Amino acid sequence: MPPVDKLLNNEYRMRINRIIDYIQAHYAEDLSLEKLASIACFSKFHFHRLFRAMVGETLNDYVQRIRLEKSVRKLTSDRTKSITDIAFECGFSGSQNFARLFKSHYGVTPSVIRREYHWDEWKNKMRRLKGRELEELPPAEAHLYDIYRNKRKLSIDKILDERPVTQVKIVDMPDLRVAYVRSIGPYTTERLLPAFNQLTKWAAPRGLMNDDAKILGVWNNPGSVPEDKLIHDACITVPDSVSADKWVDVQILPGGKYAIHHLAIRADQMEATWLSFVLNWLTFSDYQPDDRPMYQIYYKAPENDPSRLRVLDLCMPVKPLFE
């Protein structure tokens, strides 16, 4: 039997993951310490300390960051709504408070993000990075240069020189009920692979690694989330009879319209392939990104050897460009 301290740690992790999932789904609602501590079945004092220790930021800072990240998506993709409406939709008490917190976090006002980084303008800015050096670029494009070339080490020139991505299907995906093991931090093979190993070791003896099951990796958008706060869930679809336990948690991934790109790549090509999918297909399509989870479906579990090709579907949530 596993040591008591390991079982206790897994119980704590399960409860904290439950709160993370709840905040992601209910970010516009009242998310007081009292309410969330009650959902997690902890005292307020113990919950506050435990959340900070396990997530790396205070509960208030986490809730505020999630709301701000959601607001960026709305500001850049839903231009029919006012900034004030978006502030309320994301759980802020008013537009002035929202603007102050937004500028403190991102260094610019919500109106600048809306003007400079909406979908059409982002596409143009990304294309203008080709063949340019940082010193030549205006501030908004220099910011993108820093994210994609300096921080994420992606070759924008090489990606933009690739042929258009054509093998894409638009599919209405169902809701997916999944058991998952969560990782928080940079998206590296060394960090993510142990989660898949833990997941498959849990699923195999329970008879869940069958032909009906899907193995998935669910991602944050690395462009809008600090690297040390990135969340990745290693998932397997499970029937209603399977519940969370001391080793895995359970969540529902919402369905809807997805663009599906089927291919085989190495593990170290993952991020560049996603960006190519966006730049060489999505930007030329009649669709734009939607605010639902993006994920991969693996046709076999990830291997320990990162040089081996992985056969998978990239699944991007989309909505029509003109609604």
Residue 155: give the domain boundaries.
118-160
Q: With cut-offs at 50, 70 and 90, classify the pLDDT of residue 1.
A: very low
Q: State pLDDT tens for residues 225-276.
A: 788 888 999 999 999 999 988 889 999 999 999 999 999 988 888 889 999 9
Number of domains forming the structure of the chain: 3
**Which pLDDT belongs to residue 185?**
87
61 and 139 assigned to the same domain: no
Who wins on pLDDT, 137 or 225? Answer: 137
174 and 286 assigned to the same domain: yes
83 and 201 assigned to the same domain: no
Residue 27, pLDDT > 90, answer yes
Nearest to 233 by CA among 35, 1, 24, 8: 24
191 and 307 assigned to the same domain: yes
Q: For residue 87, give the CATH number of its domain.
A: 1.10.10.60
- CA distance from start to end of the chain: 56
156 and 263 assigned to the same domain: no
Which of 101, 127, 160 corresponds to the end of one domain? 160
Nearest to 139 by CA among 116, 115, 111, 114: 116
Please name the helix (run of DSSP H) or strand (run of DSSP E) that holds residue 253, with its range, or none. Answer: strand 249-253
Distance CA 255, CA 269 (A): 26
59 burial (CB, 10 Å; 0-12 / 13-18 / 19+) is buried
**Which pLDDT belongs to residue 305?**
65
